[in-house]
């Protein structure tokens, strides 16, 4: 097939990725331990509302495919060459990969008015810890909404209310404490004991991500739970994701 004929075909197939982008299979609901976000060599900054509670905070609710979407990328590479394909794929499905949709509607910016009744709860449960922005958690929520929420098929308020409801239904801080896993500078916990506590306490396995503290030690950083497409219930994860914690033990740093 000549390039002149093939180009419109490939482009239209790639553009259809963008309109299909709201089609996904499940959500990753990602929470993070603030002591581990802050306890790295980079540190953190508290939001303008003050130091958050010593509780897991929401990072995001991310639509995800059960299988990565790779076909269009391969076709485009074959026909257009690496650079053009990368540019078009980047516009259609995002730079970091094709395993989830992202930035589905840049015109749909988060409106404070839409989530005004959730502000207090969001400030408690979804605080920013970044030093880069203004210190307003709204900036973090706006970023998460733009990148992930616009692909969720949910209205703005429903998206944030759903994340808060899933968090409230399975309080990770309490679940871990119930298993004797509490923030400590001296204790170390086996990764399997953390996994088991979460599986027992929520009824579903979760994926764990660790990071390294300023001293190089592994710390429990983020917990990935899988949630149905309606953003209501935890589900068994359609994808097996290897635990991103090297080593057998982790710290849960005091916050
Ligand atoms: P995402 O692109 O949704 O995977 O989110 C990654 C971005 O979120 C990175 O820029 C992180 O620095 C930022 N991020 C993660 N946790 C927090 C937090 N608690 N407060 C502010 N930004 C965060």
| pLDDT, average across residues 63-91 | 54
Averaged pLDDT for residues 62-80:
65
105 CA to centre of ligand 1 in angstroms = 19
Task: Report how far ligand 1's centroid is from the alpha carbon of 59 (Å).
Answer: 7
- pLDDT of 226 over the 50 cut: yes
pLDDT band at 97 (very low <50, low <70, confident <90, very high): low
> For the segment 75-85, what is each residue's pLDDT rounded down to a tens digit?
443 443 333 34
Residue 174: pLDDT over 50: yes
Q: How far apart are CA 147 and CA 154, in angstroms?
A: 13
The question of whether 170 is a catalytic residue gets the answer no
Q: For 106-155, how does the pLDDT look when each residue is reduced to its tens digit (9 = 90+)?
A: 999 999 999 999 999 999 999 999 999 999 999 999 999 999 999 999 99
Pocket test for ligand 1, best of 34, 127, 131, 140 (most atoms within 8 A of CB): 140
Atom of ligand 1 nearest to the CA of 133: 21
Task: Tell me which range, 69-73, 215-219, 241-245, is most confidently predicted by mean pLDDT.
Answer: 215-219
Residues with CB under 6 A from ligand 1: 32, 37, 57, 59-60, 128-130, 140, 144, 147-148
- Ligand 1 centre distance from Cα of residue 234 (Å): 22
| Annotated catalytic residue within 59, 102, 123, 170 | 59
Q: 1 or 240: which carries more pLDDT confidence?
A: 240
Residue 89: per-residue pLDDT: 42
Q: What's the whole-number average pLDDT of the chain? A: 86
Q: Ligand 1 centre and the CA of 238: distance in Å? A: 24
Ligand 1: distance of its center to the CA of 215 in Å? Answer: 22
In this predicted structure, which of 17-31, 65-79, 164-178, 203-217 has the lowest mean pLDDT? 65-79
Q: What is the mean pLDDT of residues 178-193?
A: 97
Question: Which protein residue's CA is at the shortest distance from atom 3 of ligand 1?
Answer: 144
Closest atom of ligand 1 relative to the 129 alpha carbon: 20
Is the pLDDT assigned to residue 86 strictly greater than 80? no
Residue 100 has pLDDT above 70, yes or no: yes
């Amino acid at each position: 097939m000549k390039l002149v004929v093939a180009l419109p075909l490939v482009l239209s197939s790639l553009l259809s990725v963008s309109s299909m982008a709201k089609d996904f299979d499940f959500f990753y609901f990602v929470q993070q331990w603030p002591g581990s976000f802050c306890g790295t060599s980079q540190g953190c900054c508290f939001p303008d509302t003050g130091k958050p509670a010593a509780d897991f905070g929401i990072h995001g609710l991310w639509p995800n495919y059960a299988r990565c979407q790779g076909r269009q990328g391969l076709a485009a590479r074959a026909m257009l060459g690496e650079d053009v394909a990368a540019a078009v794929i980047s516009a259609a499905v995002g730079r970091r990969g094709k395993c989830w949709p992202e930035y589905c509607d840049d015109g749909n910016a988060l409106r404070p008015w839409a989530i005004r009744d959730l502000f207090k709860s969001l400030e408690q449960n979804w605080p920013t810890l970044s030093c880069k922005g203004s210190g307003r958690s709204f900036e973090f929520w706006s970023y998460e909404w733009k990148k992930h929420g616009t692909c969720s098929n949910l209205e703005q308020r429903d998206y944030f209310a759903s994340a808060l409801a899933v968090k409230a239904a399975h309080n990770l801080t309490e679940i871990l404490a119930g298993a004797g896993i509490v923030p400590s500078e001296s204790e170390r916990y086996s990764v399997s004991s953390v996994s088991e506590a979460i599986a027992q306490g929520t009824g579903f396995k979760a994926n764990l991500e660790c990071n390294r503290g300023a001293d190089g030690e592994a710390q429990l950083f983020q917990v990935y739970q899988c949630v149905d497409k309606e953003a209501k219930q935890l589900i068994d994860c359609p994808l097996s994701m290897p635990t991103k914690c090297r080593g057998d033990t982790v710290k849960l740093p005091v916050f």
